[in-house]
Chain A
Amino acid sequence: MRPLTKLALAGLLAMASSALAAGGDPQRGAQLAMQGDGSGAPCLACHGADGAGNDAAGFPRLAGLDADYLAKQMLDYNAGKRVSPIMQPNIDNFDEQQLRDLAAYYASLPAPASAAPANVSDAQLALGRKLATEGDWDTYIPPCSSCHGPGNRGVGHSFPALAGQHPSYIRAQLQAWQNNQRNNDPNQLMTAIAERLTAQQIDAVAAYLGSLSATAE
């Protein structure tokens, strides 16, 4: 085999394996996001054409989140492991490959560059910053960043980006963990922390995280 052919073959193999690793096709995902699953609203009706979501309505940003994280959430909806009366009927006709395509599509979209300024007092924002970056160890609350990473921009497939996520969504999810309405976290790592938070701490940390840039320091 000539070196050049060998190189081209290696390139093709590398491309194929990276597509396999992601497990989804963003192009097909883009189509599905517009079409929907045939029995409900298409994704972009709520999450927006740019995947930015909507704070007032509590629809999360999806753009730029980890593909495997997004896929797991949708698979969990369809398996009844995560419950949402809005999400479930809108994706229950998608098969696993289609969900992975959608996840790959949203992961490929650029995260919105700037977040809305927090609509809370300076004191609340300071409390949120402390919880997110230093925690409150006297009540055994480690900082969000100890798992969600630098700038709370997410780590790997299991710890999603929180920076620039909508405060209404973060608040609702923390409350859902407290009320045992959400429990699809690995090893109850989020349940443990969420149930120790006060209502005031939830408001503060949601506002602070929402005010962070999703992309850079």
Chain B
Amino acid sequence: MNLTRTIPLVAGLLMTAGTTLAEPEVPVNLPEFKPGQYVHQAPTVEDLMADESIHPELKKVILKGRDMFMNTQQFRGKYVFNDLNCKSCHMGEGRMNWSGPIWPAATTLPDFRGKNQHVNSLEERIAGCFSFSMNGKPPEYGSDDMLALVAYHRWLAKGAPVYEKNIGGRGFSHLGKDKPELDYQRGKAVYEANCAICHGEDGQGKTVDGQVVFPPLWGDHSYNWGAGMTRIFTAASFIKNNMPLGKPGSLTDEEAWQVANYINSQERPQDPRYTGDVKETREKYLNFHKYTNYGTVVNGKLLGDHDNTGDKPFLKPEVLRPRTFD
């Protein structure tokens, strides 16, 4: 091999090696923050333990709230009637941007909420998650368990400005109003190529030694028809920025929309707000259900046309009630 050929080859190899080091094969592709947004760095458990300004009794309660959040299945049959944990959707201990970080609930509530058309407290917002996403029965307002969850939320918000609403990384981001034409079969193809290895071809996830490893995405043990995740744009945004696990941003927007539509075209437990008629329920809560497939016909079947509440032996938890200040 002559030298004139060797040098570019070596240089090429070095460049290749350099590129490999600089650019990971699987980058973490998350949305940019917008100028002027408040970007929060939520504290860690290590921060909590090291913080001498926090009373040991409060530390205990915060840690209890964190434990409830990470292992919500310990309340299976009490507060939770499906296979989900809080962390199933709020990944990274509820601290992560673009993964439904939970601390903004502590700094922006009480506030008016479109979903139930009244002013909600932090406890009420948490109760919403239990009622819909966990297909469950929330801890009583003012109870020790509710206080522990509130304490965990509030502590994660430490240092964040109260009632600041321009928050970077809040929710799951929003893929915008321009959704592609949604096609069940295309969503199915994306699902089988990217999701089925963990969540199963049948969407039922995987439980090992009694512990849920991969949560079910539909069916009796998944979120019910009233959960925010049934809205196609919410699921698409969550998937885009959080799935497959460890590969945020690896699917295209189009793929995220299609697979979100596929997952939310499957049956799941009834919306707790069910009136006894799916079409009527859809109309009554159209501000929510205009984004879901509930009460629409998919593959010749009217979705949500049933009385099935999954493992939950009732339809609606009592805490779901209107508020007025008249």
Residues of A at the B interface (CB closer than 8 Å) are 134-135, 137-138, 140-142, 145-147, 149-151, 153, 155-156, 158, 180, 186-189, 191-193, 195-196
Q: What would 11 A/B residue contacts be, using CB atoms closer than 8 Å?
A: A134-B93, A137-B96, A142-B245, A147-B213, A149-B213, A155-B206, A155-B214, A189-B245, A189-B246, A191-B26, A192-B25
In residues 92-117 of chain B, which contact A (Cβ within 8 Å)?
92-93, 95-96
- In angstroms, Cα B197 to Cα A123, docked, is 35
On whether the beta carbons of B198 and A195 are closer than 8 Å, the reply is: no
Q: A135-B92, A155-B213, A196-B24 are in contact. Are A150 and B247 (CB under 8 A)?
A: no
Interface residue B299 (Cβ < 8 Å from any Cβ of A)? no
Residue on B nearest A217 in the bound complex, by CB: B209
In the complex, chain A residues whose CB is within 8 Å of the CB of B44: 138
On whether the beta carbons of B95 and A137 are closer than 8 Å, the reply is: yes
Interface residue B28 (Cβ < 8 Å from any Cβ of A)? yes
On whether the beta carbons of A188 and B213 are closer than 8 Å, the reply is: no
- In angstroms, Cα B244 to Cα A146, docked, is 12
On whether the beta carbons of B209 and A137 are closer than 8 Å, the reply is: no
Q: A146-B245, A149-B213 are in contact. List 13 more A-B contacts (CB 8 A).
A: A134-B93, A135-B92, A137-B91, A142-B92, A147-B213, A149-B209, A149-B211, A150-B208, A153-B208, A186-B197, A187-B197, A188-B247, A192-B246
A133 CB to nearest chain B CB (Å): 10
In the complex, chain B residues whose CB is within 8 Å of the CB of A158: 197
Q: A137-B93, A180-B20 are in contact. Are A149 and B208 (CB under 8 A)?
A: yes
On whether the beta carbons of B96 and A142 are closer than 8 Å, the reply is: no
Q: Which residue of the partner chain, among A146, A149, A153, A188, contacts B26 with CB atoms under 8 Å?
A: A188
Q: Which residue of the partner chain, among B20, B92, B198, B209, contacts A150 with CB atoms under 8 Å?
A: B209
Residue on A nearest B24 in the bound complex, by CB: A195
In the complex, chain A residues whose CB is within 8 Å of the CB of B208: 149-150, 153, 155
- Interface membership of chain B positions 241-268, coded 1 if the CB is closer than 8 angstroms to chain A and 0 otherwise: 0001111100000000000000000000
Residue on B nearest A140 in the bound complex, by CB: B28
Shortest beta-carbon contacts, A-B, top 7: A137-B92, A192-B26, A192-B246, A150-B211, A149-B208, A140-B28, A150-B209
Interface residue B37 (Cβ < 8 Å from any Cβ of A)? no
State the majority secondary structure of interface residues on B.
loop
Interface residue B287 (Cβ < 8 Å from any Cβ of A)? no
On whether the beta carbons of A146 and B213 are closer than 8 Å, the reply is: yes
Interface residue B194 (Cβ < 8 Å from any Cβ of A)? yes
In the complex, chain A residues whose CB is within 8 Å of the CB of B198: 147
- In angstroms, Cα B25 to Cα A191, docked, is 8
- In angstroms, Cα B109 to Cα A186, docked, is 42
On whether the beta carbons of A188 and B245 are closer than 8 Å, the reply is: no
Q: Which residue of the partner chain, among B25, B197, B244, contacts A180 with CB atoms under 8 Å?
A: B25
In the complex, chain A residues whose CB is within 8 Å of the CB of B197: 158, 186-187, 189
- Interface membership of chain B positions 230-245, coded 1 if the CB is closer than 8 angstroms to chain A and 0 otherwise: 0000000000000011
In the complex, chain B residues whose CB is within 8 Å of the CB of A188: 25-26, 247
- In angstroms, Cα B246 to Cα A147, docked, is 11
A189 CB to nearest chain B CB (Å): 6
In the complex, chain B residues whose CB is within 8 Å of the CB of A153: 208-209
- In angstroms, Cα B91 to Cα A192, docked, is 17
- In angstroms, Cα B245 to Cα A158, docked, is 14
- In angstroms, Cα B208 to Cα A151, docked, is 10
On whether the beta carbons of B25 and A195 are closer than 8 Å, the reply is: yes
- In angstroms, Cα B246 to Cα A195, docked, is 11
- Interface membership of chain B positions 20-31, coded 1 if the CB is closer than 8 angstroms to chain A and 0 otherwise: 100011101000
